[in-house]
Amino acid sequence: MLLIRSLAVADPAATLGMMVPMHEVQIAAADEGVRLDRFLRRLLPQVPLGAIFRQLRTGAIRIDGRKVEPSLRLSVGMTLQLRLRSADEVAAPAA
C-alpha cells in the first residue's frame, strides 16, 4: 500500500518564499530493494527522467530528509519527500 501525504512548505530557493507542495511517501515492503530512480519513474510517469535526476541533484527529492543518489536501494520504512511545483505531478504507481 502506497501512502502519500501532502503538505505545503516554504521553499527557501523560491523567490518571495512561495509555498511549494511537499509530498511524503512511505516506502512499502513491495518496493524494498528497488533503485530510487526506478521507483520515481513509476511514481511520476509524466515527469521526464532528466527532470527527476535534476530534482535529485538539487535536493527537491529527498529520502529521510537527506539528499541521495539515484542508485540508492529503498528499504521499508524510508520516507520519500518530494517538493514539486504542482500537486498533479504526483500519481500513484501503476500496479
Mean per-residue pLDDT pooled into runs of 10, the chain (95 residues): 50 54 92 96 93 93 95 96 64 45
pLDDT value, residue 35: 97
Q: How far apart are CA 66 and CA 31, in angstroms?
A: 19
pLDDT value, residue 95: 43
Q: Distance between the two ends of the chain, CA-based, in angstroms?
A: 10
pLDDT value, residue 22: 85
pLDDT value, residue 18: 59
CA–CA distances in Å: residue 77 to residues 4, 14, 30, 55, 57:
13, 30, 11, 22, 23
pTM: 0.71
pLDDT value, residue 5: 56
